[in-house]
Structure 1
């Protein structure tokens, strides 16, 4: 229906009308489709979705990112929505883009990538409060995508690769340190017990013999060789 507002501008206002059919025969004969009014009001009150795209947002640590967000809202009060704001749908979209820039401007890149739910909740609260005088209810906000510049992606990939290599080197160094300590402890135990040295010697022979090779091993205790080793004589010449 048409309503004349105070500033003499004719606007179209949807109202909720409750009705019942008293005479089905007259209703079908005189009205072509009496449910059109109900459907028009119902369509206005349905939840809507607006996608907000930002080509470049400067984060707190001076990184330019592109963010896609989706705002879900519905019209709570159709009369206020058409009388208090010129175009509630377009205004809600512009407000969502501005709010997205303001919120992401307080975050650094790491927070933008890891705190999407927190950012969405902050945006939803701010938008819902701002659009309440328009008769619009913002139900939720979702951060769909965060895009980084190509050069920054390459730099982050190189940094991640360097960090992985550094961690691998640290793990290898820690493993060698633990192995050297274990060998030192084993050497101390073997030095205190000659029998332990012989057991280790026999274990080594057992390991070698288990391998498939053509090498023949003749075990010979080292103590026997002491009797055959004589100190060399050094000839002295008079100068």
Structure 2
């Protein structure tokens, strides 16, 4: 009886050794999952940054030492690194129509377009909340102040110099945000309808005055030329005959008419010569 009891106990102990506990099952499942997920997680550690972008990497909220990173492949740690991509290409936006009071107290509406690009990715991310919105607002304020220093005629005729002045003024502020201004172009200056009518009437009066002056100058020159021609004809009466024939030729070429003139024609003699 004792031998059989010992054999039964040994069998029971072997069975207990072969059985797997719940903790062991959980760890085994986790190990299998890690083996399957690890390659995929490893692929997620690599990011591709395009040529025209830069990556600012924040690790636990702090800027990583290699920021801005790129272009090319960069290494990030999942769950700890946050990647923010900054576009370095030229960007543009249209300013909403702005009513400007010029130096000579004329109200006009100005449309403009702005071109800029990011020069320092870290500055545009850390020094300002939204560099695009901030650039638009500072451009509106600076442009209104600058245009108010010019008269209406200067505003219409000196757009290029005004654009350069506005770009330099805005650039002094946006440099702190890592943004560089490229161009500030004034597209259109819209005048009030009543002012357009007044300017059109003024321009028409100016053109009429210039036309009368030019006509008067032409009359003076014509009179001087006639005076000179009469003097030449007095000295050479034969010129009158040539002029007479030239006039007949001109009349005959204009319309089909018959012209009768005496022949032979007497050739005029010089003034003061004795007749024979």
- Structures share a fold, TM > 0.5? yes
**d(CA) in 1 for partners of 2:255, 2:191:** 57
Which of the residues 145, 152, 156 maps onto 1:109? 152
Which of the residues 215, 218, 239 maps onto 1:175? 218
Counterparts in 2 of 1:194 and 1:99: CA distance versus 1, 3 Å = same
Counterparts in 2 of 1:111 and 1:212: CA distance versus 1, 3 Å = closer
Q: Decide which structure has greater strand share.
A: 2
Which of the residues 99, 115, 123 maps onto 1:80? 123
Instruction: Look up the match of 1:17.
Output: 69
Which is greater in Rg?
A: 2
**d(CA) in 2 for partners of 1:88, 1:156:** 41
- 1:151 Cα offset (Å): 1.3
Instruction: Look up the match of 1:137.
Output: 180
Which of the residues 85, 89, 109 maps onto 1:46? 89
Counterparts in 2 of 1:61 and 1:219: CA distance versus 1, 3 Å = farther
Deviation string 1:157-176 (CA, Å, 9 cap, x unpaired) is 22222222222222222222
Counterparts in 2 of 1:82 and 1:178: CA distance versus 1, 3 Å = same
Instruction: Look up the match of 1:156.
Output: 199
Unaligned runs of 5+ in 2: 1-57, 267-276
**d(CA) in 1 for partners of 2:179, 2:256:** 84
**d(CA) in 1 for partners of 2:139, 2:90:** 16
Backbone CA RMSD of aligned residues: 3.4
Find runs of 4+ consecutive structure 1 residues off by over 6 angstroms: none
**d(CA) in 2 for partners of 1:125, 1:149:** 30
CA contact (8 A) 2:95 2:112 kept: yes
- 1:49 Cα offset (Å): 1.5
Deviation string 1:165-219 (CA, Å, 9 cap, x unpaired) is 2222222222222111111111122223333334433444444455545565344
Counterparts in 2 of 1:102 and 1:205: CA distance versus 1, 3 Å = same
- 1:57 Cα offset (Å): 0.4
Higher relative contact order (CA 8 A, sep 6+): 1
Counterparts in 2 of 1:2 and 1:159: CA distance versus 1, 3 Å = farther
**d(CA) in 1 for partners of 2:94, 2:234:** 76
Which of the residues 44, 60, 81 maps onto 2:103? 60
**d(CA) in 2 for partners of 1:59, 1:124:** 19
- What TM-score do the two structures reach when normalised by structure 2? 0.61
